[in-house]
Amino acid sequence: MSDFLERHRFARGAALLLRRYYDHHVARDSAALTYYLLFALFPLLIFLNNLVAVWALDLDALLTEFAGVIPRDVVELLRQYVAYLSRVSSRALMWFSLVFTIYFPYRAVNALFLSVRKAYDAGMPRQFVRYQFRVLLYTILLIVTIFLSIAVSSVGGRALRFLSDYVYLNDAVLALWPRLRFLALGAVLFAMIALLYALALDERQFTRGIWPGVLVSLAMWVGLSMGFSLYVEQAARYSLIYGSIGTIIVLLLWLYLSATTLIMGAEFNRVLLDTRNAQRSSK
């Protein structure tokens, strides 16, 4: 078996990645991260729903963008929750949710930073205050990015139609906008995951030490989300077994898969770096 792994670099990398999955307890860390993400999701929706109402934006537009990859039950649950918030929203509720909008995403980002550091074998942070500042900075950037993504999704089409009154724009450009904004959201996800891996570490990583794992993480997330969505819609019948709570179970499972892909992207980067270092030392 060892001879086979020595001859096939891909198989050796896959074996190392699988071993790191168990040695670093990725399943346990993903479950902990799912817990924080669940508690971060609903206060964040409360705050964003009140905030986008002030700016006359459409939060449902962002959910529509991911309807192809996120399980339909999850999308419908979030839409129902947003519709409920639109009926009971108030400024007092917005400011109350702001505290939890910062706190719970902060805890989720902190758990994710620690998992990324474990993947890179970086150990515990050496400068506690600087590390906590990075966690807070990324949390704020994440919330701002989500808000800007909503703005681009809901305002972009109207802005193009407004410009078409003054500047000639081909109808094909207007028709292409839904696909272009999906690509733009993909670019935003790529940038945020790359920034996550960079800020989680004490020392700067070369670009090649970050972007491969980001691509792998995005590919895994899209593939697993689409596969899980098809499984839920075609094979699984959670609502028949668990009733109305079945949607929450689907949400938890999807958050767990998302957390696993983020952590495994960092693990892939470390395996790639170790493989390159081993090849250099053997020469």
Distances (CA, A) of 59 to 55, 67, 92, 152, 229: 11, 13, 20, 11, 21
Residue 210, pLDDT score = 85
Give φ, ψ of 8 to 5 degrees. Answer: -115, 110
Per the listing, tokens 């980001």 go with 214
pTM (two decimals): 0.78
In whole angstroms, what is the distance from residue 241 CA to residue 259 CA?
25
In one letter, which amino acid is 238?
A: Y
Angle at 106 between CA 200 and CA 198, to 5 degrees: 15
Comparing 59 with 15, the larger pLDDT belongs to 15
Mean pLDDT lowest for which of 26-35, 43-52, 110-119, 209-218? 43-52
CB neighbours of residue 267 within 10 Å: 26
Residue 145, pLDDT score = 81
Tell me the DSSP string of 183-224: HHHHHHHHHHHHHHHHHHSSSPPPGGGTHHHHHHHHHHHHHH
Share of the chain above pLDDT 70, in %: 61
Residue 237, pLDDT score = 62
Domain spans in the chain, listed from the N-terminal domain onward: 21-278
Chain segment 180-191, per-residue pLDDT in tens: 667 777 888 888
Q: Is the pLDDT of residue 42 over 80?
A: no
Where is mean pLDDT largest: 12-21, 26-35, 196-205? 26-35
Question: How big is the chain by its Cα radius of gyration, in Å?
Answer: 21
Chain segment 241-268, per-residue pLDDT in tens: 666 677 778 788 888 999 999 999 999 9
Angle at 223 between CA 183 and CA 189, to 5 degrees: 35
Report how far Cα 114 is from the mean position of its chain's Cα atoms. 16
Distances (CA, A) of 155 to 60, 100, 222: 12, 27, 25
